[in-house]
Amino acid sequence: MVDAFAIDVMHMMDEGVARWFLSQIVEGRGRLRLTAAEIKEIDRRWIHIIVPGHESRSTRSISHFKMQAHELRFFLQHGAPYTTKDIVPEKFHSILYHASSIAWLATRDVITEVDLSRIERHSDLFLRKFQRFFGEANMKFSIHLMQHVAHTIQLHVPLQNISCYGK
């Protein structure tokens, strides 16, 4: 009998959640309609982030939101809260903050019970705020899966250990 399926962080969070948020910012569909100047300022902040480590490619403009998964991961975990602060509506920024916190906590090498509690709290707030801001109709499958992140970690391991990124 199958008890559960593991959540793949690359497809769910990076290519699902992060790409959807970027499309909202760049294309301005639905509730989020940013001006060209606001999008340009987010892009300026994003381009000026220095990527740590051995990244061989410079940061691409958010207008190319069809980025590779690792670039989307960097945007969700590190770039989104910083680049959008005081530009996007506070309610949307709060949603990004919770998504970023979940992504960061769920992919650490060691995850404690305290981390799991924090993931659960962020997931609950993320989903409630997302639904209030964007509506139930925009509750994509990858957005819905955010509520199962803590349970997946409890059953399996930190998400990057079972992701399609490989080792």
Residue 140 scores a pLDDT above 60:
yes
The crossing angle, in degrees rounded to 10, of helices 113-134 and 90-106 is: 150
Average pLDDT of the chain is: 80
Q: Which two tokens stand for residue 53?
A: 């480590």
pLDDT at 55: 55
Residue 6 scores a pLDDT above 80:
no
More confident residue, 109 or 86: 86
| Segments in the chain forming alpha helices (H) | 9, 19-27, 36-47, 69-74, 80-84, 90-106, 113-134, 141-144, 149-155
Phi, psi at residue 157, to the nearest 5°? -155, 180
Range scoring the smallest mean pLDDT among 46-55, 64-73, 104-113, 151-160:
151-160
Judge contact between 138 and 17, C-beta under 8 A.
no
Measured over the CA atoms of residue 45, residue 30, residue 74 and residue 69, the dihedral's sign is negative
pLDDT digits (tens, 9 = 90+) for 32-46: 889 999 999 999 998
C-alpha 13/C-alpha 31 separation (Å) is 21
Q: What is the mean pLDDT of residues 16-38?
A: 85
Q: Which two tokens stand for residue 98?
A: 């919770």
Residue 149 scores a pLDDT above 80:
no
Give CA 31 to chain center in angstroms: 18
Judge contact between 23 and 65, C-beta under 8 A.
yes
Judge contact between 146 and 14, C-beta under 8 A.
no
